[in-house]
Amino acid sequence: MSMTSPTVVTVDGAAVAIAGRPVLRGISMEVRQGEFVALMGANGSGKSTLVRAMTGLRPLTAGSVHLFGEDLDGFHQWQRIGFVPQRATAASGVPASVWEVVASGRLTRRRWLRPLLGPDRAAIRAALEVVGLADRARDGVTALSGGQQQRVLIARALAGEPELLFLDEPTAGVDLPNQEALARALGVLKDRGATIVLVAHDLGPLAPLVDRALVMRDGRLAYDGAPLADDAVHHPLFLESHSHHHHEAPRHDHAPHVAAPLDGGVGGTASGLGTGNGSGRPDGRA
Amino acid sequence: MDILGYDFMIRAMLAAVFTGLAAPTVGTYLVQRRLALMGDGLGHVAVTGVALGLLTGSSPTWTAIVVAVLGAVLVEVIRVQGHTNGDVALALLFYGGIAGGVLITGIAGQSAARLQEFLFGSITSISVSDVWATMALATLVVVICVGLMPQLFAVAQDQEFARVAGLNVQAYNVLVAVLAAVTVTVAMRTVGLLLVSALMVVPVATAQQVTRSFRTTLALAMGLGVAASLGGLVVSAFASYQWRVAPGPTIVLLALAGFAVTWPIGAVLRRRARLRTPFVAEPPLGHEVTDEHPHVHGDDCGHPAVEHGDHVDYIHDGHRHAAHGGHYDEH
Ligand SMILES: Nc1ncnc2c1ncn2[C@@H]1O[C@H](COP(=O)(O)OP(=O)(O)O)[C@@H](O)[C@H]1O
Ligand SMILES: [Mg+2]
């Protein structure tokens, strides 16, 4: 993913409003082929909304999104995209087996009334193997733990053999061994040259994979640069504006947040970067 | 046995088989989307359609289909537009449907008894043309629901994922709603508009007590639907030598009896599955050896063996015992 790799995602001056309230403003950024980008920020900072805007689930009120050089309005190469939505469970109102849920990820490459063919089955099996659930294919998804269900959702996205993968908080509420299994799975994909945009609050075992970090704050892009150190989550960039981070001491909503000490560069530029107009990769790296 | 040989009975049995097959097929997708009461709502809306048929002198089946389909599309529009108060808006539509139906029936100068045929079913008085319509529409519903299973499953399972997979989610949602509307009117002659939802939902609820996959749930629900509607019809036919037994309620009660019988089995299976859910693969706090332990745990020692990381823990009187060397550890 050198600077010469082709651009896979281009967001230019994007804004999103939900029910008339501006949520995202002035987002500009790029993701290049083969990059592993971590999209970070406090709860409610707009990470999911940005991912949903990039996948066409939220209409833009301004700006544009291009995937693989094609405008999202009228985009049709969905088989190149994989999406893991923010979900607590893979279950629905009727039992479904792990195999069935993962097989639905193959729909991007299937026509109407066409049964699963050999290559489809091979892709589903491969996806299950990558997430380490090949032996659970016939089980119902509800029989799996939360972390395993997250891995089912990832396998579902992988079954379509995407080149660009969006994952929205796949590690939230997942225990450490499952996070490690997830990191292995994403490492395999990265080695195969996939481009990955991962939303996470805490990177944990995924940290070594990350090439670049984007930090959202209150609907704007506050940082775009080198991966942040683990303790960076205590940085003011990550604090919610109205409630606060759960590691904080309780009850000081209206007091100014005390910044944890962090290397000067990020702290110094954080507020100034609030416009997030994608002025490249800033000054973030100290 | 001769009662089964009458023409009206043969017509009724044909209608019962086809409705019993079609209703749970759509019902499965509705239950999957947690819209189990959708069929019920559309049944209420269809009452207005029936009344319009009685008023204008056209076939109540076809006016009911038209009104129920319009209602179904309206329901989908409301669901997409008004996120917050969607179910209240639906309720208004449903009550409007049944109130309008009763009112129009009165204006049409028809008796409540005539409307009752449609509310509670009158399968034994079904006409030849109605049987043909039932068979054709039910076949259409089953073919679409089974043929588009991958797409409909994906959309009902996770709408957002389906959209990013390039599926036209809204079109599929409207399709399911329209199929539900058609099914409601088809089943109207069998179990009646007020009980129609039971035939769509109860076989699915019964099937999922014992199944683990969507495909088997769908297939089993279809089988149970046929068994209930055909069985209920035959039971009521024989019982009617003695008493006045209406087929519609008999069918629904038979379906419910199936659920009542299956539920304990499901409860046991679920309990067993919960017991076997792996423990979080964190290592134990420390090395803690059990007290004196003469019992040897094994594959069929009677204590559930639950996966815990790279080994199994045996559940023993509220403790988790893991074999370690020659003794058991508390995990
Ligand atoms: N469906 C919605 N309806 C109303 N507001 C929403 C909705 N989804 C998100 N928001 C608002 O948009 C903001 C960003 O939310 P989100 O993108 O989910 O944040 P994050 O994923 O970073 O936790 C929040 O203030 C949230 O209240
Ligand atoms: Mg989110």
What residues does each domain of chain B span? Answer: 3-272, 288-330
Pocket test for ligand 1, best of A16, A18, A55, A168 (most atoms within 8 A of CB): A18
Identify the CA nearest to B87 among candidates B124, B35, B134: B35
The pLDDT value recorded for residue A12 is 95
Token look-up 């050198």 returns A2
The full 3-state SS of B185-218, as one line of letters, equals HHHCCCCCCCCHHHHHHHHHHHHCCCCCCHHHHH
Per-residue pLDDT tens digits for B51-90 = 999 999 888 888 999 999 999 888 888 877 765 455 776 7
- Record the pTM: 0.83
The pLDDT value recorded for residue A256 is 42
Say which residues have a Cβ less than 8 Å from residue B5's Cβ, sequence separation at least 6: none
- Is the CB–ligand 1 distance for residue A214 below 6 Å? no
- Is the CB–ligand 1 distance for residue A27 below 6 Å? no
- Given A87, A94, A96, which is nearest B204 (Cβ)? A94
Number of other residues whose CB lies within 10 A of the CB of residue B241: 8
The pLDDT value recorded for residue A263 is 41
Query: Residue A85 CA: which ligand is closest?
Result: 2
Dihedral sign for Cα A91, A94, A95, A96, please: negative
Mean pLDDT, residues B86-105: 83
Per-residue pLDDT tens digits for B109-133 = 888 888 888 888 888 888 898 899 9
Could you give phi then psi for residue A100, rounded to 5 degrees? Answer: -65, -45
The pLDDT value recorded for residue A173 is 73
Amino acid at B326: G
Chain-centre distance for alpha carbon B205: 6
Q: Which residues of chain A are modeled with pLDDT < 50?
A: 1, 241-286
Per-residue pLDDT tens digits for A204-228 = 899 999 999 999 999 999 899 888 7
In angstroms, the separation between the Cα of residue B263 and the nearest Cα of chain A is 15
| Confidence at B153, pLDDT banded by 50, 70, 90 | very high
Q: In this structure, which topology does domain A7-227 adopt according to CATH? A: Rossmann fold (3.40.50)
The pLDDT value recorded for residue B324 is 87
Cβ B158–A79 below 8 Å, yes or no?
A: no
The pLDDT value recorded for residue A77 is 92
Strands across the sheet containing B305-308: B305-308, B311-316, B319-324, B327-330
User: From atom 14 of ligand 1, which residue's Cα is the shortest distance away?
Assistant: A46
Cβ A94–B31 below 8 Å, yes or no?
A: yes
Binding-face residues of B in 9-68 toward A, CB within 8 A: 28, 31-34, 36
Q: Do residues B178 and B42 lie in contact, with contact meaning Cβ atoms separated by under 8 Å?
A: no
| Residues facing residue A164 across a β-bridge | A81, A195
Per-residue pLDDT tens digits for A224-271 = 988 877 666 556 655 554 444 444 444 444 444 444 444 434 433 343
Bigger pLDDT: B304 vs B223: B223
Lowest-pLDDT range of B80-84, B147-151, B158-162:
B80-84
- Is the CB–ligand 1 distance for residue A49 below 6 Å? yes
The pLDDT value recorded for residue A233 is 56
Q: Is B116 an 8 Å CB contact of chain A?
A: no
B3-272 CATH, one of 1.10.10.10, 1.10.3470.10, 3.40.50.300, 3.40.50.80:
1.10.3470.10
